[in-house]
């Protein structure tokens, strides 16, 4: 089968015993990924390791049922454009973490710092509070150990990727050793989350749903009461399913969001004139008496376009997530066999000269139309598209916007003396991550002291100013 002869942006590869199709035409990706037949997952080492639990590496009825359920839980906690009040609850959770982050950054007094640990903690705390109502302090040793394990897990997985295409290699001593390490790493990570699940079971109350974990405990209770326990989660072990859902949402939401924040900082160091225009827009719209909030976003086209251009240029998830065909499928007049892996090449789309004018240039203005409004072309799909598109897109956009704008509103960014600008290429893996870099954050002055308050609009001056006075 060679679809590439007819359709320039399809590549088919035969690797070992596996068929692989790489798609880099956004229209074709949309057409394929909106079809149920393309919603499967490749049955590779990763799939086997997770044993059909969770959401990211499941398919068929369990995936469909879990996606619907997780989606409804996330909506309940504010991840929806349709419920302003709930949006504000989510915004408050994020702004709480923004406050901790800003305080910690201020305490550095403009020294050259590596932001990684601060971003990891802040983004982790947002997702952990939604999932299981816990937050970690900036120096918590238990949390540091967990981070090391998760990072090790990503690296170990990168090391066995060949097994997905040449499974017979798994009997070689090197791979046997690596698989053993992955299993041990998985047990340690699971033990950490299991302890939190056990604590939650002890303190669970049917009258108050604190987080996603409680939504699951409630679902189990309901199933028990209605005699449906055995059918719940398609008959899979309840505890393993809850634990894998937490791990899936945590890992999917943490690495991507934190990496995007790094790219935003790095692009602002490379393009200080863009950073200045974002700050000027924030000063004009938000003023110097409070931090930006989510309601400001429609009035901040330069800021929004800058975030979008960084998402495009950095291609944080360069290969999207692989899908697989669930059955033999007819597509564009060809038969694609069952279990063919389909890779949506988001990186190629983001850099395609047929889609973008001068794609190599960093130009936030490409997302602003003649009327000064932000426009996102249909082919821009950093969060994927179709039936398995990103479940956390709303949360990610809100977090990225609030962290980025709060940092730029509070600090000027500076490259430390004697340091060269961070590399823009990134290190290729499941995510495209920047190499480590140092930055100086120099405090900008506000017109009054900024303190968190109980309800929105949060972070107003302690002395409230009359509306419209900035
Ligand atoms: C900048 C941040 C993020 C980016 C760029 C991103 C991107 C993506 C992409 C490209 C996919 C694959 C879509 C597909 O298979 O077609 C995906 C899936 C997913 N993302 Fe995100 N994501 C981000 C943040 C988040 C957050 C914060 C969460 C947490 C709730 C999350 C949860 C998920 C889940 C659960 C899936 C799997 C959906 C499924 O298989 O049905 N993501 N994301």
| From 125, 392, 402, 429, mutation site for ligand 1 pocket: most ligand atoms within 8 A of C-beta | 392
Is the confidence at residue 382, as pLDDT, over 90? yes
Residue 74 CA: nearest ligand 1 atom is 30
Residue 56 CA: nearest ligand 1 atom is 40
Q: What are phi and psi of 270, to 5 degrees?
A: -70, -35
427 secondary structure, DSSP code: B
Give, using CA atoms, the residue closest to atom 26 of ligand 1: 253
Residue 389 CA: nearest ligand 1 atom is 13
For residue 197 the two structure tokens come to 């699940």
Helix (H/G/I), strand (E/B), else coil: 368: strand
Q: What is the dihedral of CA 117, 118, 123, 125, to 10 degrees?
A: 100
Give, using CA atoms, the residue closest to atom 20 of ligand 1: 390
Could you tell me the pLDDT band of residue 88, with boundaries at 50, 70 and 90?
Answer: confident
Residues 321-334 pLDDT 10s: 899 999 999 998 88
Block residue for tokens 């980025």: 404
- CB within 8 Å of 317: residues ≥ 6 apart: 256, 346, 382, 384, 430, 431, 432
Ligand 1 centroid to Cα of residue 421, in Å, is 29
Bigger pLDDT: 144 vs 159: 144
pLDDT attached to residue 14: 61
Ligand 1 centroid to Cα of residue 248, in Å, is 10
- DSSP string over 287-316: -SSB---GGGGGG-HHHHHHHHHHHHHH-S
Q: What are phi and psi of 318, to 5 degrees?
A: -65, -30
Query: How high is the mean pLDDT of the chain?
Result: 88
Give, using CA atoms, the residue closest to atom 24 of ligand 1: 253
Could you tell me the pLDDT band of residue 89, with boundaries at 50, 70 and 90?
Answer: confident
Give, using CA atoms, the residue closest to atom 31 of ligand 1: 392
- DSSP string over 268-288: HHH-HHHHHHHHHHHHHHT-S
Give, using CA atoms, the residue closest to atom 39 of ligand 1: 388
CA distance 191 to 193: 6
| From 388, 390, 391, 432, mutation site for ligand 1 pocket: most ligand atoms within 8 A of C-beta | 390
Residues 107-154 pLDDT 10s: 999 999 999 999 999 999 999 999 999 888 877 888 888 888 887 777
Is the confidence at residue 275, as pLDDT, over 70? yes
Provide the edge-to-edge strand list for the sheet that holds 18-23.
10-15, 18-23, 341-344, 323-324
Provide mean pLDDT across the span 298-305.
Answer: 98
Provide mean pLDDT across the span 379-387.
Answer: 96
Ligand 1 centroid to Cα of residue 6, in Å, is 31
390 among annotated binding-site residues: yes
Is the confidence at residue 249, as pLDDT, over 90? yes
Residues 339-372 pLDDT 10s: 999 999 999 999 999 999 999 999 999 999 999 9
For residue 95 the two structure tokens come to 């702004």
Could you tell me the pLDDT band of residue 470, with boundaries at 50, 70 and 90?
Answer: very low
Pairing of the two strands 10-15 and 18-23: antiparallel
CA distance 449 to 307: 28
Check: CB of residue 413 under 8 Å from CB of residue 268.
Answer: yes
Terminal alpha carbon distance of the chain: 64
| Ligand 1 cavity residues, CB under 6 Å | 33, 55-56, 67, 248-249, 252-253, 256-257, 260, 316-317, 320-321, 382-384, 386, 388-392, 395-396
- 7: number of Cβ within 10 Å: 15
Residues 8-23 pLDDT 10s: 566 666 655 578 899 9
| From 252, 350, 389, 400, mutation site for ligand 1 pocket: most ligand atoms within 8 A of C-beta | 252
pLDDT attached to residue 456: 35
Residues 397-440 pLDDT 10s: 999 999 999 999 999 999 999 999 999 998 877 788 999 999 99
């Amino acid at each position: 089968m060679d679809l590439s002869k007819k359709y320039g942006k399809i590549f088919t590869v035969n690797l070992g015993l596996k068929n692989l199709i790489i798609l880099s035409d956004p229209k074709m990706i949309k057409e394929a990924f909106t079809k149920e037949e393309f919603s499967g997952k490749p049955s590779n080492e990763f799939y086997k390791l997770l044993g059909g639990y969770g959401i990211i590496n499941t398919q068929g009825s369990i995936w469909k049922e879990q996606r619907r359920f997780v989606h409804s839980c996330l909506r309940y906690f504010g991840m929806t454009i349709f419920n302003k009040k709930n949006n504000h609850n989510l915004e408050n959770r994020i702004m709480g973490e923004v406050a901790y982050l800003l305080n910690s950054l201020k305490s550095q007094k403009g020294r050259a710092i590596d932001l990684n640990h601060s971003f990891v903690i802040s983004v982790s705390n947002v997702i952990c509070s939604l999932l299981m109502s816990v937050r970690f302090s900036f120096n918590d040793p238990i949390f540091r150990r967990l981070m090391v394990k998760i990072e090790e897990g990503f690296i170990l997985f990168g090391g066995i990727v060949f097994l997905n295409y040449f499974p017979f290699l798994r009997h070689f001593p090197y791979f046997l050793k690596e698989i053993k390490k992955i299993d041990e790493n998985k047990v340690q990570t699971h033990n950490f989350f299991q302890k939190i699940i056990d604590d939650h079971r002890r303190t669970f109350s049917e009258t108050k749903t604190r987080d996603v974990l409680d939504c699951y405990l409630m679902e189990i209770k309901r199933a028990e009461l209605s005699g449906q326990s055995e059918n719940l989660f398609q008959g899979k072990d309840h505890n393993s399913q809850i634990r894998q859902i937490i791990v899936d949402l945590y890992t999917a939401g943490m690495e991507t969001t934190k990496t995007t924040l790094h790219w935003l900082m790095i692009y602002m160091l490379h393009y200080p004139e863009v950073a200045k225009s974002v700050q000027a827009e924030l000063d004009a719209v938000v003023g110097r008496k409070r931090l930006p909030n989510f309601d400001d976003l429609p009035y901040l086209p330069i800021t929004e376009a800058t975030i979008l251009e960084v998402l495009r240029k950095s291609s944080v998830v360069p290969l999207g997530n692989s899908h697989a065909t669930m059955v033999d499928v007819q597509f564009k007049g060809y038969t694609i066999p069952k279990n063919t892996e389909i890779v949506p090449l988001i990186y190629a789309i983001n850099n395609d000269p047929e889609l973008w004018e001068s794609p190599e240039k960093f130009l936030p203005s490409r997302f602003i139309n003649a009327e000064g409004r932000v426009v996102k072309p249909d082919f821009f799909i950093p969060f994927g598209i179709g039936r398995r598109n990103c479940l956390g897109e709303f949360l990610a956009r809100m977090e990225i916007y609030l962290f980025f704008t709060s940092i730029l509103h509070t600090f000027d960014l500076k490259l430390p003396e004697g340091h060269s600008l961070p590399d823009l290429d990134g290190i290729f893996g499941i995510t495209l991550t920047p190499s480590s870099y140092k930055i100086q954050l120099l405090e900008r002055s506000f017109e009054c002291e900024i303190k968190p308050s109980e309800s929105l609009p949060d972070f107003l001056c302690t002395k409230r100013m009359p509306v419209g006075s900035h």
